[in-house]
Structure 1
């Protein structure tokens, strides 16, 4: 296909959310009542089956221990596009979300009603662009005219566009195909695609028969960093800020465990994702995990009084997406700033 069209309208996204997210939440049977009850003692959390501190929080039930009176529902998503749809449909309170889909979410005249409240990780070698060895392609420039799959509206999609631009290619110079990670693997095995930009664990499977052309670590070092953020709904901020404080402390504890108890963290990730300990260790080693002190600093998320460099990263991401015709217009820096929730952030260090 030639150029990737701008994303669907909010109205269409909402319609999709009603089906996709409803199915995900309903599948959690005993917890599904909590997700629709409207009470204050509930939390619906979106996550990715991806090696991170977020998975440790889930596996070790750190949040359930901190909030024993809450009914907590964990809902798995395949990409940030689905998370955005769920927030539009008011089906989530907290969720993991890549910096690129977050930039999309805060653009336009009707931004999604959520705010970034934490940083889960910085993309490194855990997201990458790989070409099938059978194609003989050894660099990004060699992708001209080729079929490349990636989940649209994701951090991988953003990094792919940035990598193509650096190589002198635009979206019209290749055939971009919108696929989620598992369908990417199937298409790869059938030989239907020439390359893919995706994340772990699918990425590791592609590497066995592919040649890595670049990674999000390299793209970030060249000035286009991507991050896995965590966002909270405006509704939760208004009705239950204490739950957000407990959740932040659980996430901060998980980041500390990654440093202080690496073996236990590997075991937790392996158990949660259903992979071997060796695979969990290798996958965690490819991510970049900040300390809580780094998250709560001017270099990253910021403090209660001032946003950090993440404000610039997200603003720049929005401009790039607009230049690439992925969104109608870039969000202003002020619009991005309003989508930061920093109140009480430094309390995680107490």
Structure 2
């Protein structure tokens, strides 16, 4: 794959931000926007992906914490689109994969946001699948084949890691940049031989495909990916109370995933428009931390003492730079400044 000009990519993000702003207002392109009443506003980006985020939305946990706020939920299909929306100043809080976050804080003009929570750790809910009958039985067998993934996503990062482990360079395969729904359409047409993608599209591919590896395996080998949640610098400056309330809602959702599994399944099924059986199966594939684990040294850490996530994000950026996906990786101190941990311990009480 050819080198990526960071300046050029940032200009593309800025241009695309206008479309993201429009999507946030109209509900087009990136997904529908749903809102509840109130005077002060919070614009939250989310993914149609099994996590505590869907419980917060479905159970209106944040609206209960902040009854005087107008909370708008905006659905996105990729981290790249979330990054564009932050550049366009159309989001306050959003779910974001660790790979697009690493990209966002890289370069001379980092996106003005900070990580404030961990939604989940990628497990079997993101995986690389090859078409049955293609003759591909392992990652090395992808040489010369067409492989789709959403570029600048955690799946893209994990795919690059899988290729390198198998002794392949990105140029050894034909990489195609497709969003999940487009991946499924290309798969059904027979245009691609394999794809690295996440749920629920992943389950559709598994029906006629063979799983070659997963983000659980790649993470165990030293390259974990996570679904993070980021908050805008503007929100940090003007309304830290809202961030605290949002964290409390997220912590409650993580606890509900354990204490009320049937209710959690029902909420996810309703949000995704799938059966309870499918929702239960999809939730089992994710790795959901307890709130206490989120704030532990093993993951996000606490104010003044960031945890291992600091190293994971730094390593992700370095890997992307080695793969020529970034001009240069940010220094660890730059990554550290992109963490917002103030008040985190108190928010879990």
Which 10-residue stretch deviates more, 119-128 or 19-28? 19-28
Alignment check: 8 A CA contact 2:37 2:70 kept: no
Whether 1:51 aligns to 2:50 is: yes
Q: Which residue of 1 aligns with 2:169?
A: 170
Q: Counterparts of 2:111 and 2:211 in 1: how far apart (Å)?
A: 35
Q: Which residue of 1 aligns with 2:152?
A: 153
Q: Counterparts of 2:34 and 2:124 in 1: how far apart (Å)?
A: 37
Q: Counterparts of 2:21 and 2:184 in 1: how far apart (Å)?
A: 23
Q: Which residue of 1 aligns with 2:309?
A: 310
Q: Counterparts of 2:236 and 2:68 in 1: how far apart (Å)?
A: 18
Whether 1:129 aligns to 2:131 is: no
SS at structure 1 position matched to 2:306:
coil
User: Structure 1 residues 333 and 276 mapped into 2: Cα distance closer, same or farther (>3 Å)?
Assistant: same
Q: CA RMSD in A?
A: 1.6
Q: Counterparts of 1:101 and 1:62 in 2: how far apart (Å)?
A: 27
Alignment check: 8 A CA contact 1:302 1:308 kept: yes
Q: Counterparts of 1:265 and 1:216 in 2: how far apart (Å)?
A: 23
Q: Which residue of 1 aligns with 2:13?
A: 13
Q: Counterparts of 1:81 and 1:248 in 2: how far apart (Å)?
A: 23
Q: Counterparts of 1:278 and 1:29 in 2: how far apart (Å)?
A: 27
Alignment check: 8 A CA contact 2:118 2:228 kept: yes
Give me the TM-score of the superposition, normalised by structure 1: 0.95
Q: Which residue of 2 aligns with 1:278?
A: 277
Whether 1:65 aligns to 2:77 is: no
Shift of 1:30: 8.1
Structure 1 residue runs of 4 or more that deviate by more than 6 Å after TM superposition:
none
Alignment check: 8 A CA contact 1:311 1:333 kept: yes
Whether 1:347 aligns to 2:309 is: no
Alignment check: 8 A CA contact 1:46 1:95 kept: yes
Give me the TM-score of the superposition, normalised by structure 2: 0.96
Alignment check: 8 A CA contact 2:34 2:74 kept: no
Q: Counterparts of 1:31 and 1:59 in 2: how far apart (Å)?
A: 12
Alignment check: 8 A CA contact 2:36 2:71 kept: no
Q: Counterparts of 2:33 and 2:227 in 1: how far apart (Å)?
A: 28
Q: Deviations over 1:113-169 (max 9, x none)?
A: 000000000000000000000202110000000000000000000000000000000
Shift of 1:26: 2.0
Alignment check: 8 A CA contact 1:6 1:325 kept: no
User: Structure 1 residues 63 and 272 mapped into 2: Cα distance closer, same or farther (>3 Å)?
Assistant: same
User: Structure 1 residues 190 and 234 mapped into 2: Cα distance closer, same or farther (>3 Å)?
Assistant: same
Alignment of 1:171-320 (within 5 A): 171-320=170-319
SS at structure 2 position matched to 1:135:
coil
Shift of 1:11: 2.2
Alignment check: 8 A CA contact 1:150 1:179 kept: yes
Q: Deviations over 1:46-102 (max 9, x none)?
A: 000000000110011000111111001100000100000010111100000000000
Q: Counterparts of 2:21 and 2:166 in 1: how far apart (Å)?
A: 37
Q: Which residue of 2 aligns with 1:108?
A: 107
